[in-house]
Copies of this chain bind each other. A is one copy, B any other.
């Protein structure tokens, strides 16, 4: 039987026990460190907290973005999956969009520096950017399209642009906002501006 390669690796590729253990330790350590020092925390710190060397961290997560994605994957998936529910529960499509956007802002605002990292040109963060766009833009688009369909908002703005703008509005904002700036309010205002006819 020449083509039994599947027998070698029943599920995907089973990794060694120590490798799996380290990956989990890294994930836990990263989540903790991100909370206190933001997603820009030094790699050495995360490695130390997980009790592993730096080589290990880079083997499991070649780019910093891979680690960030792994840590926040669940939340991002949940947000994306929630879009249809928002559409069903809200009174109007544009209300659903506004509410979903609010959740998106909630997510970004509770992660130190995530919004900033998202817009980074740095190649190491490229994958992060790609992942977020890949998951969230379609979800946003479904709400946006529904609102356009209902003629509630102008149609010359696409989901990617809107997400980009909303993400930018969250940059530099922390959960314990002590300044007058309020990302929720600003995103709300942006969406209010969406309820207009296209520019003259």
**Consensus secondary structure, chain A interface:** helix
CA–CA, A180 to B164, complex, Å?
10
**Copy number in this complex?**
2
Do B190 and A190 touch across chains, with their CB atoms under 8 A apart?
A: yes
- Look across to chain B and name the residue whose beta carbon is closest to the beta carbon of A174: B121
Min distance, Cβ A42 to any Cβ of chain B, angstroms: 15
Min distance, Cβ A129 to any Cβ of chain B, angstroms: 10
Min distance, Cβ A36 to any Cβ of chain B, angstroms: 15
Known: A168-B171, A172-B119. A186 touches B190 (CB 8 A): yes
Nearest 9 interchain pairs by C-beta:
A193-B193, A192-B193, A189-B193, A119-B172, A165-B186, A168-B168, A164-B181, A192-B196, A190-B190
